[in-house]
Amino acid sequence: MFSSERLKGIDVFVCVAESDSFTAAAERMNLTSSAVSKGIARLEARLQSRLFNRTTRRLSLTDAGNAFYRTCTGVLADLEEAELALNAENAEPRGRVRVDLPASYGRLHALPVIIDFVQEHALLFPHISFSDRFVDPVEEGIDIVVRIGGPDVWPAALGHRYLGSQRLIFCASPAYLSKHPAPQTERDLEQHSCVVFVLGDGKLGSWHFSGSQPGDIELKVMPARIAIGDGEGQITAVLAGCGIAQLPTWLVKRQLEEGTLIEVLPHLATDGLAMNLVWLKSRQGLPKVKALLEVLEKELTPAGRRLEISQTRPDRP
């Protein structure tokens, strides 16, 4: 038979895990630090497992604590869904929602959308992380993920919306082009310094070229002058005159407009990886998830935030 004792301390544990501090958790829950500390101690005693690593400077989850945190947040999410189902008129987005964004695209385009949304909904509490690695929303308990690239077939537990494919162009700085003749063909790139992306495993990223058939993409590894594992870092190197890079238009739009970067080989511009909006199907009915998904789908494009594009695009007759 289920015992209500098993629920005791879960809310305190989750709050401490998310606050990284007994004191901060106590303030959020209107409790004393002593009460929070004793609550965690009782929970650890009942579970016969240490949930936190404690030092004088830092509080962090143990491996067991991480596993228990994922379970607890899932339980609390299920309870939240049950309450909302009984109170359907409560449509105001509220509570914690976890979002993971690609590092550069997330900071430049997705984060401003979320910030604007949060400013309109004071009860919403987003937890936003940035990563370019593969993220498993089911395993990591993430409500919404924006991703560049993805599997051919998405798992059944995930909802998925294709936002389009990013456009890749070749760029160099005026300073670099003043010293090196602009390339005219793909083969000319072999005679230039190339700024390429380095993957997490140390391998160099490929450059994309249109294939012999419509829609085909050929991937080629170019001779690198410098390799950087961050898109904004690549821009820094190109602006400094280190060479030519193949970069997505959403990343270099401002520099192209200002003239600090110049597109070369425009006839070789091509589509790159797909951009996707992904979410947990089990959470999509929650007002906070549904509303945020709607605004992200409306605002995000492979070229950047839709609002920014409309503001910079010249009026057409």
Mean predicted confidence (pLDDT) in 138-155: 88
Same domain, 69 and 102: no
Residue 3 has pLDDT above 60, yes or no: no
The CATH number covering residue 137 comes to 3.40.190.290
Which structural domain range is residue 182 located in? 94-317
CA distances from 139 to 65, 75, 98, 101, 251 (A): 15, 14, 13, 16, 30
Same domain, 155 and 10: no
Confidence of residue 209 (pLDDT cuts 50, 70, 90): confident
Same domain, 64 and 105: no
Same domain, 289 and 158: yes
Confidence of residue 311 (pLDDT cuts 50, 70, 90): low
Same domain, 71 and 167: no
In which residue are the tokens 């058939």 written?
Answer: 213
Minimal CA–CA distance to 192: which of 236, 238, 235?
238
Same domain, 72 and 128: no
Tell me the residue type at 110. A
- CA pair distance 41, 179, nearest whole angstrom: 67
Domain boundary among 31, 51, 86: 86
Average pLDDT of the chain, as a whole number: 86
The residues near 53 (Cβ < 8 Å, ≥ 6 apart) are: 59, 60, 61, 62
Residue 84 has pLDDT above 80, yes or no: no
Same domain, 75 and 101: no
The count of domains in the chain is 2
Q: How is 72-92 classified by DSSP, letter by letter?
A: HHHHHHHHHHHHHHH-TT--S
Same domain, 44 and 119: no
pLDDT at 316: 40
Confidence of residue 1 (pLDDT cuts 50, 70, 90): very low
Q: 263: helix, coil or strand?
A: strand
- CA pair distance 110, 141, nearest whole angstrom: 20
Residue 205 has pLDDT above 80, yes or no: yes
**180 with 192: CB under 8 angstroms?**
yes
Q: Where are the beta strands (DSSP E) in 111-157?
A: 124-130, 144-148
Domain boundary among 67, 86, 105: 86
Same domain, 44 and 183: no
Lowest mean pLDDT across 187-196, 216-225, 265-274: 216-225
Same domain, 306 and 175: yes
Q: Per-residue pLDDT tens for 224-254?
A: 889 998 899 999 999 999 999 999 999 999 9
Same domain, 49 and 107: no
Confidence of residue 141 (pLDDT cuts 50, 70, 90): confident
304: burial class by Cβ within 10 Å (0-12, 13-18, 19+)? Answer: buried
The span from the first CA to the last CA of the chain, in angstroms, equals 72
Same domain, 11 and 70: yes
Residue 277 has pLDDT above 60, yes or no: yes
Domain boundary among 86, 107, 139: 86
The residues near 286 (Cβ < 8 Å, ≥ 6 apart) are: 80, 81, 84, 95, 97
